[in-house]
Amino acid sequence: MFNVVFVLGPPGSGKGTICSKIQENLGYVHLSAGDLLRAERERAGSQFGALIESHIKNGSIVPVEITCSLLENAMNLHKTANGFLVDGFPRNADNLSGWSKQMSGKVHEQFVLFLSCPVDICINRCLNRGEGRTDDNVDSLKKRVETYNNQTFPIIEHFGKLNMVRKVDSERPVEEVYEDVVKVFEAANQM
Ligand SMILES: Nc1ncnc2c1ncn2[C@@H]1O[C@H](COP(=O)(O)OP(=O)(O)OP(=O)(O)O)[C@@H](O)[C@H]1O
Ligand SMILES: Nc1ccn([C@@H]2O[C@H](COP(=O)(O)O)[C@@H](O)[C@H]2O)c(=O)n1
Ligand SMILES: [Mg+2]
């Protein structure tokens, strides 16, 4: 059974940055749903490239069957990992129900790491990220934030009702955020 930590927060809240550091130090494997979708978009022969790009530009959510299969395939490549950081998933009700259908009995969901940061700061971080992403522009970011507010935040609230959310303020410098994140992992792994 794979241990899974979902990592959620607004676009630009620092999910990828913090997950890299956890992967480096705590033996969890970082799987970013967005990165997996971008890789699938670029894969020669993929039948989903155009569909994925259209969702990415519009800040909308790709059907779960595609994303969940990419995640499960990636997990199966790292069978000895301590656990997986599933970054940017589940993002909406379709993601959540599809994941439950495909993954129940195969994973243990430890908790949800919620990186909380004001949206104006997040948008500025994305606009200055400098990675050439097709969705790091003002139009796409407006739509991504709308999707986050209307579809993703309710998923965080859903997990909150199950007492699974560990919230960390990610408006602060990376090192400070990471220090608190490590405490969350230490507490979870002592139980
Ligand atoms: N705590 C922080 N303080 C300042 N800048 C940060 C912080 N965390 C991340 N950044 C920077 O903000 C940008 C976005 O960070 P990152 O890619 O980790 O966010 P993300 O949550 O994964 O975003 P997305 O949802 O768009 O993939 C990057 O340029 C990163 O270096
Ligand atoms: N569960 C997901 C995750 C992401 N997407 C699409 O990818 C875009 C970029 O995601 P990042 O986490 O890298 O910011 C996102 O806006 C979605 O279009 C998705 O569909 N499902
Ligand atoms: Mg990211």
Domains of the chain with bracketed CATH = 16-178 (3.40.50.300)
Has residue 191 got a pLDDT over 90? no
**The pLDDT value given to residue 1:** 86
Closest by Cα among 138, 72, 126, 79 to 99: 72
| Distance between Cα 106 and ligand 3 center (Å) | 25
The pocket around ligand 2, CB under 6 angstroms, is made up of: 11, 32-34, 37, 55-56, 59-62, 67, 88-89, 91, 95, 135, 144
Give the pTM.
Answer: 0.98
Which two three-digit tokens encode residue 61?
């959510």
Confidence of residue 190 (pLDDT cuts 50, 70, 90): confident
Ligand nearest to the CA of 98: 2
Backbone phi, psi, residue 115, to 5°: -90, 115
C-alpha 74 chain-centroid distance: 14
| Distance between Cα 11 and ligand 1 center (Å) | 8
**The pLDDT value given to residue 121:** 98
| Distance between Cα 126 and ligand 1 center (Å) | 7
**The pLDDT value given to residue 73:** 97
Which residue minimizes the CA distance to atom 23 of ligand 1? 12
Report the percent of the chain where pLDDT is more than 90.
96
Reported as a single tens digit per residue, the pLDDT across 64-78 is 999 999 999 999 999
Which two three-digit tokens encode residue 160?
């909150």
Has residue 128 got a pLDDT over 80? yes
One-letter amino acid identity for 104? Answer: S
Has residue 120 got a pLDDT over 90? yes
Which residue minimizes the CA distance to atom 6 of ligand 1? 14
